[in-house]
Chain A
Amino acid sequence: AQSVAQPEDQVNVAEGNPLTVKCTYSVSGNPYLFWYVQYPNRGLQFLLKYITGDNLVKGSYGFEAEFNKSQTSFHLKKPSALVSDSALYFCAVSAPSGGSYIPTFGRGTSLIVHP
């Protein structure tokens, strides 16, 4: 069975500082990894994904994530946080099972960027 953990319910950071939102996963086989963002009362928006290749993945709005196979992690990062980055962030993992790749989502991490 696959699983994903987001160990922090909330991350607080000052505007202009770097941010990290953590994600670890457990799958059998090679993982497909995703990050999504959700603003209040909205659907999720795709930020970035790792399938294969370079361990550092760049995505939308200046976000990036680093795939670390030995630590089974896929942390989301941004060099300089904006107040507008405040939202709920979800990590998701999928791996082949019966020919499909149905993802499992983490519980979400609330990012709060203070002015």
Chain B
Amino acid sequence: DGGITQSPKYLFRKEGQNVTLSCEQNLNHDAMYWYRQDPGQGLRLIYYSQIVNDFQKGDIAEGYSVSREKKESFPLTVTSAQKNPTAFYLCASSGTTNNEQFFGPGTRLTVL
């Protein structure tokens, strides 16, 4: 059963703590993406990766970091430098960047 998974579904963090969101895909896709979704603002691109061991900043990369050590995995770390991290985070993958994206179910992060 192919797909893209994200964990956890809900995450709570205290201010000043780093937290890592997991994203795994078994679709054999080369490209992976992280988006942030806030009400009324659509999807904003945080980071993307077109190939293993390479990734690029998106529109709102400040306060976030990623790694792409394996084709299947693209974890996102929300650091304490991110001033307003409470949001819904979506991971996606595609065969190449000009193909449609497949999205995970999302992680809702709340900073307490």
Contact = CB atoms under 8 A, between A and B. Distances in A.
Interface of A: 9, 32, 34, 36, 41-46, 49, 51, 90, 94, 96, 100-103, 105-108
Given A43-B90, A90-B42, A108-B42, A103 B101 contact: yes
Contact of B98 (A43, A101, A106): A101
B43 A102 contact: no
Nearest to B42: A107
Given A43-B6, A45-B103, A46-B100, 8 more contacts: A32-B98, A36-B101, A43-B103, A43-B106, A44-B103, A94-B98, A101-B97, A103-B97
Interface residues of B, number: 25
Contacts, number: 54
A34 B97 contact: no
A8 to B, nearest CB: 13
B52 interface: no
Nearest to B48: A102
Contacts of A32: 98
A100 B50 contact: yes
Given A43-B90, A43-B106, A49 B42 contact: no
B45 interface: yes
B106 A49 contact: no
A42 B97 contact: no
Contacts of A41: 88, 106, 108
Residue in A45, A51, A103, A107 with the greatest tally of chain B CB atoms within 10 Å: A103
Nearest to A9: B40
Interface string B46-70: 0010100000001000000000000
